[in-house]
Structure 1
Amino acid sequence: MKISKTEVDAAKPGLADAFLWDTELKGFGLKITPAGSKVYIYQYRVAEPKKAARTAAKRYTIGKHGDPFTPAMAREKAKELAGKVAAGVDPREEEIEKAAAKRKAIELAEEKARLEDELTFEKLTALWLHEYEHEKERRPSSVRLARLVVQNHLRPFLRGKPFPHIDRSDLQRVLDAIPVERRGIRRAVFTYASVLFGWATKRGDIPDNPLSQMAKPTAPRARDRVLDDRELALIWQASTTLGRPFGPFFRLLILTAQRRSEVAEMRWQELDRSAATLTIPAERVKNRKAHIVPLSPLAIAELDAVAGVEGAEEPRWPTVGVVLTTTGTTGISGFTKAKRALDAVVADCSEGKALPDWRVHDIRRTVATGFQRLGVRFEVTEAVLNHISGSKAGVAGIYQRHDWALEKRDALNAWARHIEELLETSGRSEILRLEGAGA
């Protein structure tokens, strides 16, 4: 019979599924379930000319009667399906493909939302910097350099970009923007970026580290710049015009031979005036080994001045807080600006002639060279610099437990006396030389 509302309403459920087939449109039918549900269907076979056997019949569920289909609406849908079958299209397979495409679109949309929300460069690097700062008690100088690399070099090129979309070409542009002659910065950017993307790889945020297939920038040439006595005296004298905290900072670098960050981040609780020592804790030392630095009388005088107790009968230093600070809570930074100001004063003192290119770290090398000229043993120089190399490396480092405490103090006291002599003679435009001088 032709399926109409009258026949559909009259159809009664039985013990099993029952079917009414339309006499006008082949394959169009109504299924009545034992529960009384009435569903319009379309039964068909897809032609496959290459196969001799007939393909199995398939059924496509059009929808329930009355929700939303009427018989007329269901018939129109069945005609549409018949047209597709005639054209060789399988309606069920098409429906499956559409459903799969819809699911894929939803997945892509969700992934895009996740990328834009969780894995953007800004959000993920902020998380990494926070973890990096608290991982294994990183040195403050290392944390500062990591932040500098992110903010000054990576962010301008990668801002807003999801991590999974950052590739080698993006990172190569970052490196290309740094002048080739700035080898140290190029290498530092590559190193910290590699740590960052390696961390993201281990988290599963990206499949692999894009820097692993990139060539590491050439390391900068080892510097051998050593300040001569005249230059050292000029730097000391120029530092007196800078005031606190940078004036004492440069002078304490000269007197202690310690690293820039170790002096800049020095705290009063690390200092003992009665014992005349600075104890740098392991978390602030490059090799992660606490380091005791004897303080010469000249270094103590500098710290007395910083503490504001010079000339006191019983001078006492503060017991907490940062020694050299502009904020009251953190160690000093802005070394480039401070050195530029120092160089300007040096040039004024030298009739406009600036010192040949030098860096703050050259002071440390200068002290080590000065020790050699003063006849200080190599092992003692290594101990003052807190180097684990040379005489302290390998088997010797395992069995040699002498800390050279007395020898370190003698060396730094001799170096301080040499500085005092330089300052005395520099007033007469004569710089004391150490050739042939004893310890």
Structure 2
Amino acid sequence: MAQGAISKRSVDALEATGKTHYLWDNNPIGFGVRVTPAGVKSYIFQFRMGGRGSPVRREIIGRTEKIAPDKARSRAHELAHMARTGTDPIEKKKADRRAYVETKLTATELAFDAYCQRYLDERVKPEGLASYGNIEMVVRLHAIPILKATPLPDIAKKDVVAVLDRIPASSFALKRSVFAILSRMMNWAVGRGDIVTNPMAGMARPPAATSRDRVLDDAELAIIWKATGKLRHPLRAFYRVLMLTGQRREEVAGMNWAELDRPNALWVLPAHRTKNGVAHIVPLAPAVLNELDLLSLVLQERHQVSEPNQVHWPKLGPVMSFHGDVSLSCFSQAKKFLDVEVEVERDLTGGPPIQKWRVHDLRRTMATGFQRLGVRFEVTEAALNHVGGSKSGVAGIYQRYDWRDEKRAAFEKWALHILALI
């Protein structure tokens, strides 16, 4: 076993002998150079953990052509100190490697922006949860810009608070929606073992908005209806279907051609697309069919379909879509477009200013209008797909009548009422 001071000259002088041999230095003891039968030279450190009776262990420091002797010696001293203080250099190297890999995985797979998409793909979409588009929009517009690629395990309460604080104080519903979506996603991550605890545990849910009672009068309805006629499709159809059917914004925006039955004038909303998880049948008044016919003709013209003057509803795909591939989701921008046209129309009619209103007010306005038109309360609830009142409790369990004919009559009355205002 050769011994001697390890230097560049002594290392360069080592030659292959056809078998493995070593040059050992004693500064520190265990520092050496190994030469393989092929002539490959590497700095090594040899040590024992636990005294003379313990097995000999060797840690490779690196190839001699890549590390200078002084740096290799310095590293050997570090390893010798670790061994003397009870830390196994080899096991520490393995632990450091595991920690590095875990950190790298955390930074990629558990990065918040990437994890949001994973949650949508693996939890929301496969289980057919309602409002996929709304959930995607909420995290994209309000959570990801703040949390970005922060690893999920590093997210704390203060980070979630930062997301909520960026939302205007007046947007009660949006704050509650963001809070609920993030909390559900964090609970899902806990259930999968991706994080230990939900960082939102113990956080108070944002307060609900005060109940609204805004109902549009007939003059306002007339102005809004005329204003929608100046919007391009699908915005025109979107707002007019909202006005004529009183269904929820996300339900109309997510309408699919596969849900529509034109011969029977029906819109069949599957349970996974409704807010309450109850399937819903919406009879379509002729005015609604007319709006959807016009929209389908626009789509045919855009895609240069033959026989452009004949109505052919697609068999599937989003109805309220600019390009036929993605459902409408730009609700705020669309409302701004409509508000501009409403103000122009109001100026033309010379009427008083229209007070601030929301899309959901159209739903409340239709319900109120039904009562004015003499529609039974049970039919109004059925038309709105409410589970409450006459459909709650024991009655809700045993009363399975769907009021389809009565709903059709009510929707047609309402459509005629709106058209009569024009």
Task: Report the CA distance between 1:159 and its aligned residue.
Answer: 2.1
SS of the residue aligned with 2:189? Answer: helix
- Pick from 330, 333, 338: which aligns with 2:329? 333
Aligned to 2:192: 203
Quote the offset at 1:287 in angstroms: 2.6
Deviation for aligned residue 1:316:
5.0
Aligned partner letter, 1:131: E
Residue 242 of structure 1 pairs with residue 231 of structure 2:
yes
Secondary structure of residue in 2 paired with 1:419: helix
Name 2:150's counterpart in structure 1: 161
**Contact 2:133–2:329 (CA under 8 A) maintained in structure 1:** no
Provide the rounded CA distance (Å) in 1 between the counterparts of 2:137 and 2:255: 21
* Per-residue deviation, 1:354: 4.8
Q: Is the 8 A contact 2:47 2:83 kept in 1?
A: no
Closer, same or farther in 2 for the Cα pair 1:97/1:241, shift >3 Å?
same
Secondary structure, aligned partner of 1:216: coil
The structure with more radius of gyration:
1
Give the 3-state SS of the residue equivalent to 1:292 in structure 2: strand
In the alignment, the residues of structure 1 paired with residue 255 and residue 140 of structure 2 have an alpha-carbon distance, to the nearest angstrom, of: 26
Q: Distance in 1 between matches of 2:175 and 2:323?
A: 31
1:347 positional shift: 1.1
Residues 96 and 275 of structure 1: is their aligned pair in 2 closer, same or farther, counting only changes over 3 Å?
closer
> Which one-letter code corresponds to 1:416 in the other structure?
A
Give the structure 2 partner of residue 405 of structure 1.
404
In angstroms, what is the RMSD of aligned CA positions? 3.3
Letter in 2 for 1:239: T
Q: Give deviations 1:107-141, integer Å, cap 9, x for gaps.
A: 433432332243222332221121133232123xx
Alignment match, 2:71? none
Q: 1:380 Cα deviation (Å)?
A: 0.2
Q: Which runs of at least 4 in structure 1 moved beyond 6 Å after TM superposition? A: 60-64, 90-93, 97-100
Partners in 2 of 1:345 and 1:373 — Cα distance?
28
Number of the residue aligned with 2:119: 128
Gaps of 5+ in 2: 4-45, 58-80, 299-306
Give the aligned residue type for 2:152.
F
Match of 1:111 among 96, 102, 125: 102
* Count of residues in correspondence between the two structures: 344
Query: In the TM superposition, what are the counterparts of 1:54-203 in structure 2 within 5 Å?
Result: 59=52, 94-96=85-87, 104-139=95-130, 142-203=131-192
Matched, 1:414 2:413: yes
The alignment partner of 1:210 has SS state of: coil
Residues 133-188 of structure 1 deviation map (CA, whole Å, 9 limit, x = unaligned): 3232123xx22222223222222332232211111122222222222222112111
Q: Retained in 2: the 8 A contact 1:254–1:364?
A: yes
> C-alpha offsets along residues 241-264 of structure 1, whole Å, 9 cap, x if unaligned?
113221122112111111223222
Q: How does 1:226-305 map to 2 (within 5 A)?
A: 226-305=215-294
| TM superposition score normalised by structure 1 | 0.70
What SS does the corresponding residue of 1:279 show, helix, strand or coil? Answer: strand
**Equivalences for residues 25-64 of structure 1 within 5 A:** 59=52
Using the alignment, how far apart are the partners of 1:114 and 1:267 within structure 2? 38
Question: Shift of residue 412 of structure 1?
Answer: 1.2
Query: CA 1:174 to 1:263, structure 2 compared with 1: closer, same or farther past 3 Å?
Result: closer
User: Relative CO higher for 1 or 2, CA cutoff 8 Å, sep ≥ 6?
Assistant: 2
In structure 1, the partner of 2:36 is: none
Cα drift, residue 99 of structure 1: 6.5
Does the CA contact (< 8 Å) of 1:245 and 1:326 recur in 2?
yes
Contact 1:132 1:143 in 2 (8 A): no
Gap runs ≥5 in structure 1: 6-39, 43-56, 65-89, 424-439
Q: TM-score, normalised by structure 2?
A: 0.73
Q: Distance in 1 between matches of 2:82 and 2:315?
A: 80
Secondary structure of the 1:274 match is coil
The letter of the residue matching 1:350 is R
Which region of structure 1 is more displaced relative to structure 2, 189-198 or 142-151?
Answer: 142-151
1:112 partner letter:
T
AA of the residue aligned to 2:408: R
Q: Which amino acid aligns with 1:128?
A: Y
Change (3 A) 1:62 1:138: closer
